[in-house]
Amino acid sequence: MAGTAVIKALVASLCLFSGASAWPSTSSKRQTLGADDIQKQALANAYKVLDGTLSDGSTNRKTTCNKTTVSIRKEYGDLTKEERLEYIRAVKCILAKPSKLPAGKYPGAVSRYDDFVVVHMNMTPSVHGTANFMHWHRYYIWAYETALKTECDFKGSQPYWNWGKYSDLTTSPIFNGDDWSLGGNGEYVKHVGMNMGRPIPAGPGGGCVNTGPFANTTIHLGPLSPTMDPALKIKANPRSDGYGDNPRCLRRDVNNFFTTQYLRPVDMASHITSNANIGTFQSTLQNDTPQKAAMHGAGHFSIWGDPGGDVYVSPAEPAFWLHHGQLDRHWWMWANYLEKEIKTRIAQYEGGTNWQNPNSPKGKPTDPQWLDVVTPVGTAGIQSNQLFSTTAGPFCYLYE
């Protein structure tokens, strides 16, 4: 690989800064915003929007969404132990509820949780690398949070994983394997990494998750686009579309390869401050370059495993929702942190309608979005332009 030396040099130089929480300030007197500053500004502006002293251009805000009713999404490690247990309880509840999909059509949809996975598998080509990437996933995560609330009596808000927060992800409150985590890493098994145009090393897991609340979770759907070492002999799905029932353990390969290079607070801040329109914001978030893994994939491959490393089936990994929650937060920060830009940024919409096809028809803000059997009441076919603000249309939440 011609790029390997370049990557190594890049990694070596970037690692000098790992753990830093803001830009180094020595080289410039000009104040440069760090990720925490951006979060603070975005939240302050979002509250101004809620109390009517600032407009984000939304005309679809409900009067019932205000400062006292707004739901606050927090970082998983910032939840109290009781709040974490409540979230874990609700996720286990949805994993235990029966599917609402036709069994003959989707034999692998065993639980209500699996319904979300099937919908994602169906939609994958039209909601990644497309104009609606952020919008559809915002809607999808909110639908999951709504199902936790309405079908499992969940009392909290959807938590997220702040990519740059943990110097060692395997010992973070999300993956440390204690009773308040989303389960530990996969057990270590000897395996190789993969090649994404450059070599990605294997992580310290690779085997089944056997500690914490999601120990011994059974995955049924997929794999459809597996990325784990073939030598691990993960069973192929009995159907070529991946919808067959393929019971197997939840595997993870939680690693620090991506978080220490591409997902640090400085990476988040520079991505937000250096992309002024949604077209480049979304594409740089998703498209790897020879120098850099893009943040969306970097987050997925920080968890990796099966199904976590499979673009179609990844929502079957219980931590998926925390990673995509952060992705939604990242977009929210970008749209809200500059008071004068909010109106413009919230409504920007750019890109095609089918992945890897730049010639697919352009997406329009009026395009309806679909969630099939996981659609929350009253939102079927909702237009993308109803999904612009987190405190308008069907939504009423903020990030803290």
Ligand X SMILES: *[C@@H]1O[C@H](CO)[C@@H](O)[C@H](O)[C@H]1NC(C)=O
Q: Quick one: which of 18, 41, 122, 210 contacts ligand X (CB under 6 A)?
A: 210
Segment interacting with ligand X, rule: CB under 6 A, options 42-50, 119-127, 209-217, 267-275 = 209-217
Q: Is 311 in the site for ligand X (CB under 6 A)?
A: no
By rule CB under 6 A, what count of residues binds ligand X?
Answer: 8
Encoded amino acid at 211, one letter:
T
Q: Is 215 in the site for ligand X (CB under 6 A)?
A: yes
Q: How far apart are CA 392 and CA 386, in angstroms?
A: 7
Query: Distance between terminal CA atoms of the chain?
Result: 42
Q: Quick one: which of 68, 195, 289, 359 contacts ligand X (CB under 6 A)?
A: 68
Q: Quick one: which of 27, 64, 240, 289 contacts ligand X (CB under 6 A)?
A: 64
- Least separation in angstroms between residue 238's CB and ligand X is 23
Q: Which residues contact 275 (CB under 8 A, 6 or more apart)?
A: 281, 284, 334
250 or 285: whose CB is closer to ligand X?
Answer: 250
Q: Is 276 in the site for ligand X (CB under 6 A)?
A: no
69 or 366: whose CB is closer to ligand X?
Answer: 69
CA torsion through residues 399, 369, 136, 209, sign: positive
Q: What is the dihedral of CA 195, 196, 197, 198, to 10 degrees?
A: -60
- Least separation in angstroms between residue 176's CB and ligand X is 15
51 or 105: whose CB is closer to ligand X?
Answer: 51
Segment interacting with ligand X, rule: CB under 6 A, options 63-71, 162-170, 338-346, 391-399 = 63-71
CA torsion through residues 352, 356, 358, 361, sign: negative
- Least separation in angstroms between residue 181's CB and ligand X is 13
Using H for helix, E for strand and C for coil, what is the string for 114-182?
HHHHHHHHHHHHHHCCCCCHHHHHHHHHHHHHHHHHHHHCCCCCCCECCCCCCCCHHHCCCCCCCCCCC
Contact residues for ligand X, defined by CB under 6 A: 64, 66-69, 210, 215-216
